[in-house]
Structure formats: C-alpha cells, structure tokens
Amino acid sequence: MHVKAAHVIRALDCARGGPVDEGSVGAGTGTIALGWKGGIGTSSRKLPSELGGFTLGVLVQSNFGGDFTLDGVPVWRELRGLPSEPPPSVGHHGSCMIVVATDAPLDSRQLGRLARRAVLAMARAGSSSSNGSGDYVIAFPTTNRPSAARLAAGPPSLLPPSEEELSPLFEAAIEATEEAIDNSILRATTVHGRDGHVVPAIPIEKLREVMEKYGR
C-alpha cells in the first residue's frame, strides 16, 4: 500500500482547526470532476431553530464523470468546444468520497438514511454514477451519545429526532454536498502530471458569462 502508518500518524499530528483548504489539495493530480479539475470541497448548512437548529457540514473529494450542471445551468453544454476543454468525462471511472458531520443526535440507522441522501447531490451536479464509479459516504454525529450504562440509569438527555424531523436534515445534506462538489471544481487549479498529462481547471471568467446568460 502507498499509505503507510507513518503517513497516518503525520496526518493526525498535523490536524488543525479552522477553514479547510479547497481545490487541488489532498487529492491526486489526475482527479477529474464532471470534466474539469476536481479536488477537495466543503460546505455546510445550519437549520433554523424551529427545525432543530442543527448544523451539518460536508467535505467531498471529487473524482467522477458526468455533465457539469451548476444551479441548474448546463455548464457542460455552454463550455463545449473551448480550447481548454477536457476530454468527455461521462465514462470517467472515479470515486466521489463524501464525509457528512452533524451535531444532530442521530443513531446509526438514521445516519445511514442521511448518507444515502447526500449521494443525490451528485445527480444534481450532473453525475449519473457510471459503471465503475465507486462513490461512498461516511456520516457521523459530533454529539456524544449516552453509554449503555447511562441508558440503564434513566432516559438520555439527547434523543434522536423523529423520522419526520429528519427531512430538513436530508435537504441540508443534499444542498451542502452539491455546493461542496461545486466548490471542489471552482477552487481547483490546472495541474500538470507525469508524462505530460494536464488536467485543466474550469475557466472562471467564461463560467461567469454562462451564469449571467442564464440569469444567475
């Protein structure tokens, strides 16, 4: 394996708080998302108090094919034919790795339901999860769950939300994941790999023109 124990230990030792670097970081040079340079992207949502007031954050590592769609705009169609246009990515076999964290006190079954919703964001962004695309989601709560001994002593202070109360969290997970995918592309830069391989970043100024054309 390329990743050794020393690499994991170094990553843990270097971990820090604050904003997460986005774009062409923490991923291989060849990562391509929806036809353009991909990488790391993040986003979050905070529900209003009447819906629980919970916070949900998402981190993605994008490396998958499809037709880039931004806020409903067919970016892939508008940018077709540019000199910097990358090769078609519909059949690009990669993996979108999605991490969802929330302070909502969810149990394991509810976390599984939340994780399955996050994948829906990939379709919004233009992916069809082609054959060979190994996409997956990890979802976890940051809220401390009561131990078995604590449960035996009495009712816990933090109860999982009811099933109906999960719907706003589902929506938050989809929105944040879609935005994180977008950020991974918009923050990436053109990279040059071995044997002359080049993965171009999406041309931001051209993208601005496209979005303005569609009234965004």
The residues that are catalytic are: 95, 133, 135
Q: Are 62 and 39 in contact (CB under 8 A)?
A: yes
Q: Are 70 and 211 in contact (CB under 8 A)?
A: yes
Q: Which helix (H) or strand (E) holds 204?
A: helix 204-213
d(CA 111, CA 139): 6
d(CA 188, CA 11): 22
Q: Exposure string (b/e) for 117-154, b if CB count within 10 Å is 16 or more?
A: bbbebbebbbbeeeeebebebebebeeeebeeeeeeee
